[in-house]
Amino acid sequence: MNSTTIPIDETPRRRLVTPLAVLAAAVMFAGCQSTPRADVDAARSAGEAAGLSAPIEFIAVGPDGGPLDESNAAGDALTLADALRRAVTTDPGLQAAMARVRIALADADQSRLLPNPVLNVVLRWGPGKPQIEASLAQDFVQALQIPRRSSAADNRLRQTAADAVTVAIDVASEVQERYATAQASAELVPLLRDRMVLLERLAAVAQSRLDAREGTRSDLATLEAQLVELQVEVDQAVLSEREERLRLARLIGEPSSAAGWTLDPWTAPGTDLQPESRWVDTALLRRPEIQAIAWKLKALGDDEAIVRLLPWEGANGGVDATRDDEWFAGPSVSTPLPIFDMGQAKRARVTAEQLEARHELTLARRKVVEEVRVAYQTMTASNANLARIRNQLIPLQQQRRTLAEDAYRAGQSDVTALFLAEQDLQLTQAKAIEVERQASTAFVRLQRAVGGPGVALPLMAAPTSAMPVQPDPTAGSEIASPLSALPPPSNR
């Protein structure tokens, strides 16, 4: 028995397989050129900038949002460090910024995915045998853009992370400023009430003199008017303290609380600072607002490269197969013809966006320099005034009161001179409290201007007890700064 070999024509199969292999290899090669996603730890960076030693934990809430009041309510005492920690870790605005970072993370992951191939199958009936057409197409232009698209998404991810750091230091700055104002008001109210008691005693002396026909009604009316003015001032100070406590309650996540905590006693901010130029240089390097614009510029640079292929968007290549009596297969290419739209409008838009961002960068740098210098000089002047009041004015007023008391005891003057000397001493002490508040506010704004408490800490020659002391943030991981890739500001 003789065996017969029937030859099989492999040509159609080769015609189908070869273009598919080439197309798949080209697309896979283009997709593999994208770099791994940027390693951005916005939670740690925001925590370090705000002066915390731990990353900020992202809080997932239900469809109705988070609770009105946080469960871990503060006790009878609220320290500045605890207020800062509670505010930064529970602030809804900061949590929303962290959610935007997650959105940017998802966009960065999406930018690295290859576009799905499109399978098209056509079946026709008519006279004769049914006809079958099949095609498999892949958008190769979009695949070629993956490296640039992923780079742009990474840069926008870094920009979003820098925006989250900005929100964190804004929250920290507001908490510190509210806390300092509440401290000053709490210190001022008892002093004003002491002045009220003193004025009442002066008014009683004036009334006694008037009854004895030794004084005038004008003196009594003047003291009574001062009493009313001082009562208004006391009420305003009490209201100011209450308002600051209620705002502080909202910031730490307890808007419904009684806000009757005991606050830390006021302590002077550190006066041994690094030179102003060092603060300015650090702010220009570490301010998240500048970093965000710099990352935006880098993302726009990627957009500029992507837009060059805009006229060819939608071009795809693939394999078409048709079966009539036999199978026919071959490569196919579909591409737009750039006749009307050459991408010139899109390129002009990207160029304008780059120019806008460059001007925004210049504006941000100038504002940073202004904010640092104003806060630095305000703090320096406030500390100098405070030292002058404490070391010179208050001792002189105390000496004056002592002399008035000695004269009264010796019978050389009446009690009015002693009361007036005591009143002037209390006015000086009230002025010292106001200057203390100005110094604290200037210190908080200086920290904010340089990039947050965590960034400002190494610039303090000696740590201050006025603000919570945290580990040096430079020891932790940070988002890489894009500023080194930007040209320095020109001096024109």
- CATH of residue 115's domain is 1.20.1600.10
Residue 125 lies in a domain: yes
Residue 299 lies in a domain: yes
- Strand duo 327-334 + 131-138: pairing: unpaired
Residue 282 lies in a domain: yes
Q: Which of 188, 178, 180 is nearest to 236 (CA)?
A: 188
- C-beta separation of 162 from 292 below 8 A: yes
Q: Domains in the chain: how many in total?
A: 1
Residue 80 lies in a domain: no
Give the pLDDT of residue 461: 62
Rounded to whole angstroms, the Cα distance separating 157 from 155 reads 5
Give the pLDDT of residue 105: 93
Residue 79 lies in a domain: no
Residue 75 lies in a domain: no
Strand-pair partners of 77: 262
pLDDT averaged over 10-residue windows placed end to end, the chain, 492 residues: 44 49 52 67 89 88 85 77 91 94 93 86 80 82 85 93 95 93 87 84 82 76 85 89 92 89 80 87 94 95 86 79 79 81 87 95 96 94 90 91 82 76 86 88 93 89 44 38 43 40
Residue 68 lies in a domain: no
Q: Which of 300, 334, 303 is nearest to 317 (CA)?
A: 334
Residue 2 lies in a domain: no
Residue 228 CA: distances (Å) to CA of 40, 66, 211: 60, 46, 22
Alpha helices per DSSP H over 145-287: 146-211, 217-251, 276-286
- C-beta separation of 225 from 152 below 8 A: no
Give the pLDDT of residue 301: 92
DSSP state of 62: B
Give the pLDDT of residue 477: 37
Domain that holds residue 378: 11-58+85-336+358-485
Helix (H) or strand (E) holding 288: helix 288-306
Give the pLDDT of residue 273: 82
Residue 403 backbone dihedrals phi, psi, to 5 degrees: -65, -40
- Which residue carries 């700055």 as its tokens? 173
